[in-house]
Amino acid sequence: MRSFSYQKATDPGAALRALNAAATDSRPLTEAAAQPLAGGTTLLDLMKLDVMRPASIVNITPLARTWSAVDAGVDGLRLGALAKMSDVAAHPEVQRSYPVVADSLKLAASPQLRNMATLGGNVLQRTRCSYFRDVSYANCNKRNPGSGCAAMDGVNRMHAVLGTSNQCIATYPGDFAQALIALDAMVEITGASGTRSMPFAQLHKAPGNSPQIETSLQPGELISAFTVSGRWPRSLYLKVRDRQSYEFALSSAAVALDVQDGVISDARVALGGVATVPWRAREAEALLKGRRFDDGLAQRVAEAAFADATGRRHNGFKIALGRRVVARALQQAVTMEI
């Protein structure tokens, strides 16, 4: 860890001013001189690893007074960005009407981390790619654009099979984001010029030719809330991993269905552990809509979800695994008692 200056922002205005003051150049957001600190469960790790080297830290936890509310009403859900993962996972109305949200939070990390980590920080957590997180590897296009990718032909069992580019195959590690993208959530972003709202699906950027740019957030902007419209009681998050708890997904699926008289009227399928960004499997969803569910359909949907997947040496298994996870998640969602 390198020395840095520290300040605590007592209100959004102060936080934005502090972040903006340092946002003077064109570096990617993750390289900006000033970084906001909330739960600190990602940022402090990356600073200790010397991957992130901010010159100043702006502690935004006091903003929780206004940015941590959980409102679940008849027409939708609003989650403050500074709400703790554990609080949202335990919220009775979230559990009842948005089980995919509650599950995705509950199955992530450990109780200690969920008690610290905030929703906004959670969706912005950075990849667990071992080569990205170890600065002694020179080749990382995310850390050093143009330096190459050590993971491409290295140890890549945990890496992505969807949304990859020839620059980067690092997996987006989170769980909650899959729930948000499946439910067509909106993300509310507050900056110096006010608050804007955009589809959550537009927040993360696939690596393409610039894997160092991970989101569409601009320097000096903060996520202030997430919103979901409607209710999704028939939804779940299935997470498959090497051990029972406290581990990132090898493959996961966030599934939400609306079934009327045995016919699927709406379907959402998002994938985790297998893609470079929170991944919505829209082709798969299209196969479901208007159909009656059976195992054959589940197989076709699973095939469609991974039609464009590309495996490398150690992660090719994720394609077959991902298909099984999608099919199983759909089977479970269809038979959910709601």
Partner 1 sequence: MTTAAPEPKGNMGQPVPRYDAVAKVTGRATYASDTPLANPAYAFLVTSAIAKGRIDGFDLADARRVRGVIEIFTHENAPKLKESKLFSNGGYASTTIQPLKSADIAHDGQIIAVVVADSYEAAREAAYRVKVNYAAAMPAATFDSPGATAAAAKGQNGQFKEDPRVGDFARAFDEAEVKLTAAYETPTQHHNPMELFATSCAWTGDDLVIYEPSQYVHGLKNGVAGQLGIDADKVRVVNPYVGGAFGSKGSMTPRTAIIAGIARRLNRPVKLVPTRDQGFTIATYRAETRHEIQLGASRDGRLLALRHEGMEVSSRPDPYCVGGTKTTTRLYACANVDSLVSIVRADRNTPGFMRSPPEVPYLFALESAMDELAVKLAMDPIELRRINDTANEPIDGKPYTSRSLMACFDAGARAFGWSQRSPAPGSMSDGDWLVGYGCAATCYPTQMAPAAARVRLQRDGRTRVEIAGHEIGNGAYTVIAQAAAERLGVPLEKVTVHIGDSDLPPAPVAGGSNSTASTCSAVMMVCDKVRQRLFRALLPNEGLADRAKETVGIGQTPATQAARSGQPLDRDKAFEALGADVVEDYGEWKPDGAPLDSFHAMHQGQMRMVGGDKMKGAIAYAFGAEFVEVRVNRFTHEIRAPRLVGAFAAGRIMNPRTARSQLMGGLIWGMSSALLESTEIDARTARYVNDNFADYLVPVNADVTDVKVIMLPEQDHRINPAGVKGLGELANVGTNAAVCNALYHATGQRIRKLPARLENIEI
Taking every pair of C-alpha atoms in the chain, what is the biggest distance, in angstroms?
Answer: 62
Residue 86, both tokens: 């554990």
Q: Which residues contact 320 (CB under 8 A, 6 or more apart)?
A: none
234-263: b (≥16 Cβ within 10 Å) or e: bbbbbbbeeeeeeebbbbbbbbbbbbeeee
Q: Other CB atoms closer than 10 Å to residue 53's CB: what's the count?
A: 15
Beta strands in the chain (DSSP E): 5-8, 34-37, 56-59, 70-73, 76-80, 186-191, 194-199, 222-229, 235-240, 251-260, 263-272, 279-280
CA–CA dist 91, 96 (Å, integer): 9
- The footprint of partner 1 (CB under 8 A) covers 1-3, 50, 110, 128, 130-131, 134, 136-138, 150, 153-155, 157-158, 238, 240-247, 250-251, 317, 321, 324-325, 327-328
Q: What is 168-205 written as a DSSP string?
A: --PPP--SHHHHHHHTT-EEEEEETTEEEEEEGGGTB-
CB of 94 to partner 1, least distance (A): 23
Residue type, 309: A
Is 224 in contact with 80 (CB distance < 8 Å)? yes
CA-atom Rg of the chain in angstroms: 19
Residues 6 or more apart whose Cβ sits within 8 Å of residue 260: none
**C-alpha span between 155 and 298 (Å, rounded):** 32
SS percent in the chain: helix, strand, coil, step 5 = 30, 25, 45
Residue with token string 């390289």: 31
Query: Is 81 within 8 Å of 30 (Cβ atoms)?
Result: no
Residue 134 or residue 184: which is nearer to partner 1 going by CB? Answer: 134
